[in-house]
């Protein structure tokens, strides 16, 4: 069942297209990994979903309702952390939680608020002003605020920004708990690809406001689709050799001087054997099937700085 259904969404800022004709669906129970380089349009899309900004065109449906017509009903069931988890620094964690619970239309008991603070590990600091908190504690409070009204959909925009490794692990565990134990639907945008890889059930990659791919994580990391990069003493000669063999159908870039193939992981030894029997000197073999490699592959040629060659 689709929780979020976005169709042909476009947003322009003073003739600059931030999001172009974007469509995707988030199903109930998904941990939906939302990936893209800086400026790809992730935050703009999330802001449109949360009614912070108006789409130039397109359609957003949440819980089967039109967002533009049923804003209040929909937002009652969404909890969000948008980039930095900013709260009122002159109030305590408890006061912030209570204030945002009221704004979400609920009046939780003292015990419920304390339970919520316990869940995010801030019960002992409940009455301390937020201005005394570390970045990790603020992040956890932001997530606590997003969860205080027990929403069905949780949107986390860069939830691990500025956190130390322990803080990142805490957030990852919390997301997994929300998904597996509480059966929440989550949209998580991040530039930390390995984090998304560990938690996402579906992945959307966007670039320059356009959808590159939307795929189940299982499919994306399928061993049958492993990318293999081979470095040989003479890559040009190797490419020429491969052109007339069965292996040419596995080549990712036919006219390239780099030897990159997409194949089943179990066929890699057979391929190495083939090269060896043709007297090709192999320097390295790099199988890739993690999200970072996939991400770099699909956004190839759009890097911000040139990579150095050794």
Partner 1 sequence: MFTLLRIEIYKIFSKPRTYLAFAAITALILIVQLGLKVDGNEYAAFVLADLSNTLQIDGKIINGYFVCYVVLQLLLVHVPLLIALIAADMISGEANMGTLRLLVTKPVSRSGLLIAKFLASAVYTIILLIWIAVLALFVSMYIFGTDDMFLLKNNYAVQIEKADIFWRYAGAFFFATLAMLTVAALGFFLSQFADNSIGPIVATMSIIIVFTILSTMSIPIFNIIKPYLFTTHMVAWKEFFDVKLNADNETIAGSLQRGDKIIKSAAILVLHIVLFVGASIWVFKKKDVLS
* Shortest reach from residue 55's CB to partner 1, in Å: 10
Applying CB under 8 A, among 28, 76, 208, 210 the residue interacting with partner 1 is 76
Q: Which of 80, 143, 153, 171 binds partner 1 (CB under 8 A)?
A: 80
How many residues make contact with partner 1 (CB under 8 A)? Answer: 32
Q: Is 102 in the site for partner 1 (CB under 8 A)?
A: yes
Phi, psi of 42 (to 5 degrees): -65, -55
118 counts as binding partner 1 under rule CB under 8 A:
no
Instruction: Tell me the C-alpha distance between 133 and 29, whole Å.
Output: 32
52 contributes a contact to partner 1 by CB under 8 A: yes
- The site string for partner 1 over 4-33 (x = CB under 8 A, - otherwise) reads ---------x--------------------
Contact by Cβ (8 Å): 203, 215: yes
Question: Count of alpha carbons within 13 Å of 202, Cβ hemisphere only?
Answer: 17
300 lies in the binding site for partner 1 (CB under 8 A): no
Contact 159, 81 (CB under 8 A): yes
Quote the Cα angle for 137-140-143, to 5°.
Answer: 155
Can residue 272 be called a binding residue for partner 1 (CB under 8 A)? no
Would you say 64 and 70 are in contact if contact means Cβ atoms under 8 Å apart?
Answer: no
Nearest to 214 by CA among 194, 187, 182: 187
In the list 53, 213, 260, 296, the residue contacting partner 1 (rule: CB under 8 A) is 53
**Which x/- pattern over 131-170 shows residues binding partner 1 (rule: CB under 8 A)?**
--------------x-------------------------
At 170, is the secondary structure helix, strand, or coil?
helix
Judged by CB under 8 A, the stretch of 103-111, 164-172, 179-187, 204-212 that binds partner 1 is: 103-111
Q: Which of 47, 184, 202, 211 binds partner 1 (CB under 8 A)?
A: 47
Residues 6+ apart with CB under 8 A from 113: 94, 97, 98, 101, 148
Measured CA to CA, the distance from residue 135 to residue 162 in angstroms comes to: 7
Burial of 126 (0-12, 13-18, 19+ CB in 10 A): middle
Q: Is 189 in the site for partner 1 (CB under 8 A)?
A: no
Least distance from partner 1 to the Cβ atom of residue 79, Å: 9
Instruction: Please report, as ranges, the residues that interact with partner 1 according to CB under 8 A.
Output: 13, 47, 50-54, 71-76, 78, 80, 82-84, 86-91, 95, 99-100, 102-105, 145
């Amino acid at each position: 069942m689709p929780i979020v259904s976005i169709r042909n969404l476009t947003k322009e800022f003073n003739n600059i297209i931030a999001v172009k004709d974007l469509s995707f669906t988030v199903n109930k129970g998904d941990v939906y990994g939302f990936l893209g380089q800086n400026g790809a349009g992730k935050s703009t899309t999330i802001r449109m979903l949360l009614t912070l900004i108006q789409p130039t065109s397109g359609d957003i449906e949440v819980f089967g309702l039109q967002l533009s017509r049923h804003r209040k009903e929909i937002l009652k069931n969404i909890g969000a952390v948008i980039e930095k988890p900013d709260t009122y620094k002159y109030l305590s964690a408890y006061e912030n939680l209570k204030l945002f619970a009221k704004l979400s239309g609920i009046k939780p008991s003292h015990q419920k608020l304390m339970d919520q603070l316990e869940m995010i590990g801030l019960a002992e600091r409940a009455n301390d002003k937020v201005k005394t908190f570390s970045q990790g504690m603020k992040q956890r409070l932001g997530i606590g605020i997003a969860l205080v009204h027990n929403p069905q959909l949780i949107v986390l925009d860069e939830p691990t920004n500025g956190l130390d490794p322990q803080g990142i692990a805490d957030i990852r565990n919390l997301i997994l708990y929300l998904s597996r134990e509480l059966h929440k639907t989550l949209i998580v945008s991040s530039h930390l690809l390995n984090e998304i890889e560990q938690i996402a059930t579906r992945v959307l990659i966007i670039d320059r406001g356009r959808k590159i791919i939307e795929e189940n994580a299982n499919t994306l990391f399928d061993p049958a689709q492993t990318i293999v990069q081979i470095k040989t003493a003479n890559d040009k000669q190797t490419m020429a050799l491969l052109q007339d063999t069965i292996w040419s159908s596995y080549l990712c870039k036919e006219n390239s001087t780099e030897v990159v193939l997409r194949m089943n992981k179990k066929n890699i030894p057979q391929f190495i054997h083939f090269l060896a029997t043709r007297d090709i000197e192999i320097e390295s073999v790099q199988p890739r099937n993690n999200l970072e490699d996939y991400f770099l592959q699909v956004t190839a040629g759009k890097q911000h700085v040139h990579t150095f060659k050794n």
